[in-house]
Amino acid sequence: MDKRFYITTAIDYVNGAPHLGHAYEKVVADVIARARRSLGQSVFFLTGLDEHGQKVQQAAHDLGQSPQAYCDDLAVQWSSFVQSLGLSHDDFVRTTDARHQHIVVALLNRLHATGHFYKSAYRGFYSVKEETFLTEKDRNPDGSWDPQWGVVQELVEENWYFKLGEHQSWLVEYLEKNPEFVQPTNRRNEVLGFLRSQKLEDLCISRPSSRLSWGIPLPFDPGYVTYVWFDALVNYFSIPAALGDPAALAPLGSPAPAGSSLSVWPADIHLIGKDILKFHAVYWPIMLHALGAPLPKTILVHGWWQKDGAKLSKSTGNVVDPLAIIGEWGLDAFRYYVVRELGIGPDGNWTDDGFRVRYNSELANGLGNLLNRAVNMLNKYRAGVVPSPSRTLAAEATAVVEKTRACYLANDPQGALIAAWELVNRANLFVEETKPFHLAKDPAQSELLDSVLYNLVESCRILAVLVQPVMPATADKIFAQLKVCGEASDWKQSAWGGLAQGHQVGAPIPLFPRKDLAPK
């Protein structure tokens, strides 16, 4: 059985409202997943929800609900959010799923049995809001605690610890030998810089159930539940294991069920935001290494969105509501904009004007206008019948196809769109250069007109395949207008010459209606 290309997103805190940052990460992961499928790979795409912890327990309590009922209500909103983004995920994990919890327990038992945990007392300052112990380094210069920590309490507590520190030199060496493990490079350097300059403390993996009951109980000490990251990170591994993947079951000492046909672990990409880099690039590989499990290939780290140069924040009202944008402009326009605007790495800035400008210039006047002109002229001058094949733009289109493919394979969806728009712009320019509306008036230019029209509709057909991972519905609309059989989701359709002479195309329908450019 062939291993599937396995991509994950971070799992979102169930009690946070879905926002642009969540939408971006999911759309980018979806684009990578769809591109790989188009290129012939079999894919497993996982996303989901992180449901345990103090804040959820507290919020449920405040509402007079059980934490499970509270999570179940919120999970409905999240799953409709995911649907609105048009994701092609293969599974949706909730950390309250029995299948997840079962594997977390098996993993904890295994690491306990192999001597990776110990129990110890700790005295320290604890931020209830951030669910974390603070160190002296977290104090302000005047000794006070920053308001970001909320109420800070001094606590003495016995807890379970994971011997994280033991693996520090192994991890440094691993990062040095595997440059693709953390991408982009500046994030890898950040992790290496941190590991080379600071001694890694052992990791507290538990909370007493008297303080936090909403978690997975430690199987070897029932007075405790797992600490949030030891639960959450494991989702990437628990779902393959629960579905019977032998590569995830073997390190747990469990045999694969008879007839098991799933092979996904190790993950090819964990797509995450920059704020959770340390958990993914330090804790997670060490947990897997201690378990004797293969490591994910790449932790791919994206930046954070702001709006109008300021942090997204519900309390200040500085928000972008992805569902409102999708409602007004359409899902594909939203997906296009976020992918085109922000490559994986830097931080991004949403402006409503920026969105409108890209919509009008790149979608309405760019791709939309190209298709509209091509189909319109073919209908007008040739009754919608494709003339004999011509190769005037073939070499340029083929080079663009190759460039776009390379970007998708390099997990660079923004680069893929930039490459594809070379063909959009080239073909639109070709209309200006050849002036088919003039050629149509001169019967002596009939052959040239045939050739121009062929090159235009064929470019549109190929563009549908190139943009399909980002704008699946648009790609299908282009294929439908051209009345071509075959799937725009199959990269093989991007070879020049797919339109046969005599093929009848449909009527033109605008892809992206133009909208008023004036700021609202």
Q: State the residues that interact with ligand MSP by CB under 6 A.
A: 10-13, 16, 21-22, 24-25, 50, 232-233, 272-273, 275-276, 304-305, 312
CB 41 within 8 A of CB 472: no
Strand, coil or helix: what is 200? coil
Choice between 295 and 473, CB closer to ligand MSP = 295
Choice between 323 and 448, CB closer to ligand MSP = 323
- Residue, CB closest to ligand MSP: 273
Pairing label, strands 43-50, 12-13 = parallel
* Minimum distance of ligand MSP from residue 252's CB (angstroms): 19
DSSP count for the chain of H helices, then E strands:
20, 16
Cα-to-chain-centroid distance, residue 333: 17
* Minimum distance of ligand MSP from residue 194's CB (angstroms): 18
3-state secondary structure 103-159: HHHHHHHHHHHCCCEEEEEEEEEEECCCCEEECHHHECCCCCECHHHCCEEEEEEEE
| Sheet bearing 152-162, strands edge to edge | 132-134, 117-127, 152-162, 203-204
Count of CB atoms within 10 A of residue 299's CB?
Answer: 25
Nearest to 214 by CA among 77, 76, 14: 14
Choice between 89 and 477, CB closer to ligand MSP = 89
* Minimum distance of ligand MSP from residue 92's CB (angstroms): 14
Question: Which residue is associated with the tokens 């959009």?
Answer: 424
* Minimum distance of ligand MSP from residue 344's CB (angstroms): 11
Choice between 131 and 422, CB closer to ligand MSP = 131
DSSP conformation class of 313: B
* Minimum distance of ligand MSP from residue 464's CB (angstroms): 29
Half-sphere exposure of 87 (CA within 13 A, CB side): 29
* Minimum distance of ligand MSP from residue 46's CB (angstroms): 11
Half-sphere exposure of 498 (CA within 13 A, CB side): 27
Count of CB atoms within 10 A of residue 241's CB?
Answer: 29
Question: How far is the C-alpha of 58 from the C-alpha of 40, rounded, in Å?
Answer: 46
CB 348 within 8 A of CB 342: yes
Q: Which residues contact 394 (CB under 8 A, 6 or more apart)?
A: 496, 497
Choice between 275 and 328, CB closer to ligand MSP = 275
Choice between 11 and 239, CB closer to ligand MSP = 11
Task: For 421-436, give one letter per residue: b (16+ CB within 10 A) or e.
Answer: bebbebbbebbeebeb
Choice between 299 and 374, CB closer to ligand MSP = 299
* Minimum distance of ligand MSP from residue 273's CB (angstroms): 2
Choice between 21 and 251, CB closer to ligand MSP = 21
* Minimum distance of ligand MSP from residue 2's CB (angstroms): 26
Choice between 58 and 390, CB closer to ligand MSP = 58
Q: Diameter of the chain by CA atoms?
A: 92
Count of CB atoms within 10 A of residue 470's CB?
Answer: 27
Task: Give bridge partners of residue 275 from the DSSP assignment.
Answer: none
Choice between 10 and 420, CB closer to ligand MSP = 10
Choice between 235 and 451, CB closer to ligand MSP = 235
Choice between 92 and 304, CB closer to ligand MSP = 304
* Minimum distance of ligand MSP from residue 48's CB (angstroms): 9
* Minimum distance of ligand MSP from residue 276's CB (angstroms): 5
Strand, coil or helix: what is 217? strand
* Minimum distance of ligand MSP from residue 13's CB (angstroms): 4
* Minimum distance of ligand MSP from residue 24's CB (angstroms): 5
Question: How far is the C-alpha of 289 from the C-alpha of 426, rounded, in Å?
Answer: 50
